[in-house]
Amino acid sequence: MNLCVTTNIQDQLTKFWELETCRTNSTNSVEESACETIFEQTTCRDTTGRFVVTLPKKPLIIEQLGESRTTAMRRFMGLERRLHANPELRNAYTDFIHEYQLLGHMKEVAVQTTKTVYYLPHHAVMKPESTTTKLRVVFDASCLTTTGVSLNDALMIGPVIQEDLINIIVRFCLHRYAVVADIAKMYRMIRVQPDDGALQRILWRDSPTDDIRTYELTTVTYGTACAPYLATKCLQQLADISEETHPTAAKILRRDFYMDDLLSGVDQIPQGKMVVSELINLLDSAGFPLRKWSSNCSEILSDIPEHLHDDRSHLQLDSSNSVIKTLGLVWELSTDTFQFSTPKWASATFITKRSVLSDVSRLFDPLGLVGPVIVQAKIFIQELWKQQCGWDEPLPAELQDQWQ
């Protein structure tokens, strides 16, 4: 892993892209190979140990980015009106932005530049169930510029680094004592090279009476296409370079993390305390603080400060790529069992094919663990088609009873 970025890396990558495209017909393979090359040749660590990465850009598309500030300005004015109408949301949003500034995750810049720039529109998404961040600011890197090209169009997604979640969960079940935690603000713990800051610009002001200012985000940004790859690749890289100094933690880091979530365990309590200590030490060395610790054995976490514990008895196993949906899978600590959270059915005086379809679409089971149960709902929909029920007509009494 290089300690600095080569000055002509973009020219080298352009040539690499062209050669690889000629060599293979698989676009995904070309992009994934190029993405890995960019990471290997440009990633370094700063004086604090944090990773510093380059945004993996598609060289032939990044040049096509058009003007984006006008759209970002229009979207910001709409956001400001929404915040003005909701003082509680405005305060939470402002606090979020101020935290970005305080932590050095964004910096003010002059508008004038000769570089290729991109302005990220942003908006709020609420997560009432979160125990840490109720509000999350989401940055829209898919917003089109005047040429019809967005930043995400010009960024490589990168290959999948981590194992499938179902494999991690099955392995999680094999341990006598379970241990879970997550990395606080994982994306924002990774810095981007200063030259890429111009591609992560936002507009902001605290009050409508202030001037609108331009800022650049200095860390990996939620909403960019390459963010999941860059974050998980940094974890894998940390595991690779720490195999000798932290052998157990390196193995867990490589196998038992799904995005920022740790799902692991041990068979002996002393082993568990050792694993927890080694994981904290390893991840702290790269600026990845672990929090929300939980286990079905409190003794394993006895050395963890109380404010870093997760006090919930039911833990939602989240798909961290989404700020809205969860996997529907819940781990119940006291019984060490998995449960499935079911949605509340839509309240209606009578049941129609439309309301049935709406309810069935809310059964979210990407892992397929409860497929044998919810398939009954899908079979019921088939029956409605066979009987040629209208979309908004009340179902026959027999079908209504069956659905209930």
Residues of the chain with CATH 3.10.10.10: 69-161+185-227
- By CB atoms closer than 10 A (0-12, 13-18, 19+), residue 215 is buried
Residue with tokens 């060395």, as numbered in its chain: 285
Name residues of the chain where pLDDT drops below 50: 1-7, 23-25, 319-326
Residue-level pLDDT at 36: 94
Tokens, residue 313: 């008895």
Residue-wise pLDDT for 321-375, tens only, equals 433 334 567 888 777 788 887 777 766 678 899 889 888 888 877 778 888 888 9
- State the alpha helices, DSSP H only, in 256-352: 269-284
**DSSP category for residue 197:** G
Tell me what pLDDT residue 136 has: 85
**CA 147 remoteness from chain centre:** 28
Please give the structure tokens belonging to residue 372. 């044998």
Distance CA 131, CA 306 (A): 14
CATH class of domain segment(s) 69-161+185-227: alpha beta
- State the residue for tokens 């309590």: 269
Beta-bridge partners for 216: 107, 201
Q: Name residues whose C-beta falls within 8 Å of residue 47's C-beta, 6 or more positions apart in sequence.
A: none
What is the structure's pLDDT at 328? 64
Q: Percentage of the chain surpassing pLDDT 70?
A: 86
What pLDDT is attached to residue 92?
92
According to DSSP, residue 361 is labeled T
CA distances from 362 to 156, 343, 355, 399 (A): 31, 7, 11, 20
What residues have CB less than 8 Å from 164, skipping those under 6 apart?
none
DSSP symbols for 260-272: TEEEEEESSHHHH
Q: Which two tokens stand for residue 20?
A: 């690889």
Residue with tokens 């331009």: 214
Q: Can you give the pLDDT at residue 366?
A: 72
Spatial distance between the Cα atoms of 99 and 186, rounded to a whole number of angstroms: 15
Radius of gyration of the chain (CA): 24
pLDDT at 90: 93
The pLDDT score that the predictor gives to residue 314 is 64
Residue-wise pLDDT for 90-140, tens only, equals 999 999 999 999 999 999 998 776 678 999 999 988 776 655 567 889 999
Alpha helix ranges (H) inside 264-351: 269-284
The tokens describing 24, both together, are 């293979």
What's the Cα-to-Cα distance from 203 to each of 68, 131, 164, 393, 402, rounded to whole Å?
Answer: 11, 28, 37, 49, 54
CA-CA-CA-CA torsion sign (262, 267, 272, 275): negative
Q: What size, in residues, is the chain?
A: 404
Q: Is the pTM of this model over 0.75?
A: yes
- What does the pLDDT read at residue 345? 72
pLDDT, residue 130, reads 59
